[in-house]
Amino acid sequence: MTLMEKILSKKAEVGVVGLGYVGLPLAVEKAKAGYKVIGFDLQKSKVDMVNAGHNYIGDVVNEDLQALVKEGKIQATTDFERIMECDTVAVCVPTPLDKFKQPDLSYVINSTKDIAKRLHKDMLIVLESTTYPGTTEEVMLPILEESGLKVGKDFYLAFSPERVDPGNIKFKTKNTPKVVGGVTKECTEHAKALYERVLQAQVFTVTSPKEAEMTKILENSFRLINIAFINEMAIICNKMNINIWEVIQAASTKPFGFMPFYPGPGIGGHCIPLDPFYLQYKARAYDFHTTMIDLAGDITDSMPEYVVERLSEILNDNKKCLNGSRILLLGVAYKNDIDDMRESPALKVIEHLEKRHAQVIIHDPFVPEFSHNNKKYYSSPLTKDLIENMDAVVITTGHTTVDYGFVADNAKILFDTKNVTKNMRTDRKNLFIL
């Protein structure tokens, strides 16, 4: 049976390397579509959880994972020898920036080496991790071809960006259109055939992996630049005593040519703060400076400090200073209703507050505890006593489960950077917005 026949008849054994926010939902969808899935991860704790049917990713339905594990449709392992059993492998490992803000492709390289050692004829490899254009062909392909096997003939290689938006109720892995670009036409066709059998969404093909890699960078740079722009608008609106949130709402009534973005304490997550800088790095090899991305990064990076500066002004107007103040931070996750804290701007807000000798207390219903800069933080219960005892409360994540009316009723000062208090009385003297 050829690989294409195995894909079409769902007889292909499907591997997913990296069982995180991207990999686990993808593994579950592939298993739900009828493929037998083997998930690979370096972390034994994740592997054990999957095998026990214990879900740890918000976008995965617990009962789905339990049922698939029970049926033997999905299993996880730390044993990379089992890649040999796979007909297709999706690579969903992290692509962070190093401490010099340069791409760290070590996870992609290491997992590619793991696959290369077990590469066999008629195998499809798809990279899903976000990266700069050229990674699939310039970094992965040479490692895979060291096996002596030839791409397009012996095995197939493609890039397909993952677009999952953790916490999104409407769009999940299953119904989000997918872009696919293979090294050869055959590579694209095999990857397309697989995704078409798994997803209920369009599979759009592009000429090569580079176009697919750049598509993801374009999408996230677009978001970064627009978020930076709206933050700049928020700063100038504040100076002019104009309510930015009302302006955005009004502009959104235009049925064409406008798309709302919202200001906040900065940007977070594994994507928008990182992906555009993969392009910035790669562009330098072409003597090109990604001016828009650099500028947008400067603006969004400055937002946590701006929030603390604004809070300082608000306290000052109330005859208080930051030094020695008790500040309750509402939300440390990078966006509402999830527990993901990666690159969360709230962490930077904490740093700036503590640098200015404020005492920071946290409440986040999704994050009971966390460590940052070797210090442990615990979420305090959101009681009337706690709120009343604070000099100010700052909303940094707009979790929908928090009773903001209760907070506003009891806080001396409430600084809302997420506009979650929009429906509250405008004449509240203790309420301030970004």
Ligand X SMILES: NC(=O)c1ccc[n+]([C@@H]2O[C@H](COP(=O)([O-])OP(=O)(O)OC[C@H]3O[C@@H](n4cnc5c(N)ncnc54)[C@H](O)[C@@H]3O)[C@@H](O)[C@H]2O)c1
C-alpha 393/C-alpha 413 separation (Å) is 6
Rounded Cα gap, residues 265 and 303, in angstroms: 5
290: number of Cβ within 10 Å: 19
Name the residue whose CB lies closest to ligand X.
20
Do residues 130 and 275 touch, judged by C-beta distance below 8 A?
yes
Give the residue with the Cβ less far from ligand X, 171 or 258. Answer: 171
Shortest Å, Cβ 357 to ligand X: 34
Residue 235 Cβ vs ligand X, minimum distance, rounded to whole Å = 28
Q: From the CB of 352, what's the least distance to ligand X, in Å?
A: 26
Cβ atoms of 335 and 269 closer than 8 Å: yes
Reference 407, options 381, 434, 384, 391; nearest CA is 384
Token look-up 């701007």 returns 345
Q: Which is nearer to ligand X, 371 or 423 (CB)?
A: 371
Smallest gap, in angstroms, from Cβ of residue 422 to ligand X? 27
The Cα 195–Cα 147 span in angstroms is 26
With tokens 């706690």, the residue in question is 386
Distance (Å, whole) CA 14 – CA 10: 9
Residues in contact with ligand X by CB under 6 A are 17-23, 40-43, 46, 92-95, 107, 110-111, 129-130, 162-164, 166, 269-271
CA distances to 8, 90, 102, 124, 163 from 272, rounded to whole Å, are 35, 22, 15, 29, 12
Least Å distance, CB 114 to ligand X, is: 6
Q: Locate 107 and state its tokens.
A: 């996870």
In the complex with ligand X, which residue's Cβ is closer, 90 or 361? 90
CA angle 141, 147, 151 (to 5 degrees): 45
Closest contact distance (angstroms) between CB of 166 and ligand X is: 5
CB 36 within 8 A of CB 71: no
* 321 labelled catalytic: no
Q: Which is nearer to ligand X, 367 or 433 (CB)?
A: 367
Q: How far is the CB of 85 from ligand X (least distance, A)?
A: 16
Distance CA 229, CA 259 (A): 12
Edge to edge, what strands does the sheet with 13-17 contain?
Answer: 74-77, 36-40, 13-17, 88-91, 123-127, 155-159, 178-182, 203-205
Q: Which is nearer to ligand X, 119 or 411 (CB)?
A: 119
Q: Which is nearer to ligand X, 53 or 94 (CB)?
A: 94
Q: Of residues 86, 187, 237, 271, which has the active-site annotation?
A: 271
Q: Name residue 353's amino acid.
A: L
Q: Identify residue 156 by its one-letter amino acid code.
A: Y
Q: What are phi and psi of 30, to 5 degrees?
A: -65, -40
In terms of CB distance, is 76 or 328 closer to ligand X? 76
Smallest distance, ligand X to C-beta of residue 298, A: 22
Give the nearer residue to ligand X in terms of CB position, either 166 or 331. 166
State the CB neighbour count (10 A cutoff) for residue 380: 12
Enumerate the active-site residues.
271
